[in-house]
Amino acid sequence: MTQTMIGIVGGSGLYDIPGLAGAEWQEVETPWGAPSDAILVGELGGVRLAFLPRHGRGHVHSPTTVPYRANIDAMKRLGVTDLVSVSACGSFREEMAPGDFVIVDQFIDRTFARDKTFFGDGCVAHVSLAHPTCPRLGTACREAASAQGVHVHDGGTYLAMEGPQFSSAAESKLYRAWGADVIGMTNMPEAKLAREAELCYASVAMITDYDSWHPDHGSVDITAIIETLGANAEAARGLVAALPGKLDAERATCPHGCDRALDHAIMTARDRRDPNLVARLDAVAGRVLAAR
Ligand SMILES: CSC[C@H]1O[C@H](OP(=O)(O)O)[C@H](O)[C@@H]1O
Ligand SMILES: Nc1ncnc2[nH]cnc12
């Protein structure tokens, strides 16, 4: 059994979490550089919790320059076992309306200007991403969100775009035709890196707009997004506050294998591994790299 530690990556509109016992903003150094900001560490409902504002307090990092690898490494290094992303998203579905929450369970990655893996030359690894989110953690998020009185959709495909500009109307209609349900700019490579770091990962999409496909809603605009985010922030904080009650303080191994994702993933022979890269992987992959 290990101790549960919840990690929250707060997206646009979520830069702080009040009510953490013994809360302290901790600077965490990683071999991948500095995370987006210091990490707020404390206890909530008897469970340790770490909160990181994805864009930094004051929203200084763009979706492209968010230091995704440092963020995931830092969470892992702190002892996080269950990582929840809370993100502002556009919707491609009439029924997923602004103000609703969607428990994302699939992704289409259209980002192209980001570092997407901890591994590489000298230590090659291939993890499975067929099911990129943890169903157990997703259920906890769904229950915690429902308790806030928001309309919650169970399951949805998140299209990750590079940004920072929003999509054209043609792109918006194309992504909708592909079967994407929501759109945002940050959950990739975050979800991929969380899997490489053997963290259970769930993503809560807070719908802020209908992007630019809806004939009755005009085009996505930032003013409307910020307004909806303001209205949703309390529900998002309520969801975080309810999460510890949905997860056991002590956890057995993940029934879906998230915490063993690297068991058979590393291809590079032990004697051909790059010691410098192996050293950088201490937090992310120490469990398997240290084993003989
Ligand atoms: C504020 S609109 C665009 C911005 O909001 C989303 O951020 P996050 O995913 O961190 O909540 C979206 O991905 C864009 O970065
Ligand atoms: N329509 C949209 N496209 C991309 N990211 C978003 N974040 C919130 N709304 C969005």
How many structural domains comprise the chain? 1
Mean pLDDT estimate for the chain: 96
Q: How far apart are CA 51 and CA 243, in angstroms?
A: 13
How close is the Cα of 222 to the center of ligand 2, in Å?
Answer: 9
Distances from the Cα of 6 to the Cα of 55, 67, 82, 220, angstroms: 19, 20, 5, 32
164 versus 220: which is more confidently predicted? 164
Average pLDDT over residues 256-273: 97
Give me Rg for the CA atoms of the chain: 18
pLDDT of residue 1: 81
pLDDT of residue 248: 85
3-class SS letters over 208-249:
EECCCCCCCCCCCCHHHHHHHHHHHHHHHHHHHHHHHHHCCC
Q: Which of 37, 18, 140 is nearest to 83 (CA)?
A: 140
Looking at ligand 1, which residue's alpha carbon is closest to its atom 14? 185
DSSP 268-292: S-GGGS-HHHHHHTHHHHHHHHH--
pLDDT of residue 142: 98
Q: Which atom of ligand 1 is nearest to the CA of 54?
A: 10
Question: What is the torsional sign of CA 15, 34, 42, 103?
Answer: positive
Q: Is residue 74 scored above 90 in pLDDT? A: yes
- What confidence tens digit (pLDDT) does each residue in 169-180 have? 999 999 999 999
Q: Is residue 266 scored above 90 in pLDDT? A: yes
* Per-residue pLDDT band at 291 (split at 50, 70, 90): confident
Q: Which atom of ligand 2 is nearest to the CA of 220?
A: 1
Average pLDDT over residues 21-39: 98
User: What predicted TM-score, i.e. pTM, was given to this entire model?
Assistant: 0.98
To the query of whether residue 263 is one of the catalytic residues in this protein, the response is no
pLDDT of residue 249: 87
Q: Which residues are annotated as a binding site for phosphate?
A: 12, 54-55, 87-88, 186
Which of 211, 248, 263, 271 is an active site residue? Answer: 211
How close is the Cα of 90 to the center of ligand 2, in Å?
Answer: 4
Residue indicated by tokens 């410098």: 276
Q: How far apart are CA 87 and CA 80, in angstroms?
A: 19
Which of 100, 105, 209, 259 is an active site residue? Answer: 209
Classify 67 as helix, strand or coil.
Answer: coil
To the query of whether residue 211 is one of the catalytic residues in this protein, the response is yes
> Which value does ipTM take for this structure?
0.99
- What confidence tens digit (pLDDT) does each residue in 269-287 have? 999 999 999 999 999 999 9
Q: How far apart are CA 100 and CA 160, in angstroms?
A: 19
pLDDT of residue 25: 98
Q: Is residue 83 scored above 90 in pLDDT? A: yes
Q: Which residues are annotated as a binding site?
A: 12, 54-55, 87-88, 185-186, 209-211
Q: Is residue 219 scored above 80 in pLDDT? A: yes
Q: Is residue 103 scored above 90 in pLDDT? A: yes
Q: Is residue 240 scored above 80 in pLDDT? A: yes
How close is the Cα of 89 to the center of ligand 2, in Å?
Answer: 5
Classify 110 as helix, strand or coil.
Answer: coil
pLDDT of residue 267: 98
Provide the CATH number for the domain around residue 171: 3.40.50.1580
Ligand nearest to the CA of 9: 1
Give the binding-site residues of ligand 1, using a 6 Å CB cut-off: 11-12, 54-55, 63, 87-88, 163, 184-186, 225
Average pLDDT over residues 228-241: 94
How close is the Cα of 185 to the center of ligand 2, in Å?
Answer: 7
Looking at ligand 2, which residue's alpha carbon is closest to its atom 4? 184
User: Which amino acid type is present at position 141?
Assistant: C
> Residue 8: which domain range?
2-290
* Per-residue pLDDT band at 292 (split at 50, 70, 90): low
**Can you read off the two tokens belonging to residue 212?**
């630019």
- What confidence tens digit (pLDDT) does each residue in 189-210 have? 999 999 999 999 999 999 999 9
How close is the Cα of 206 to the center of ligand 2, in Å?
Answer: 10
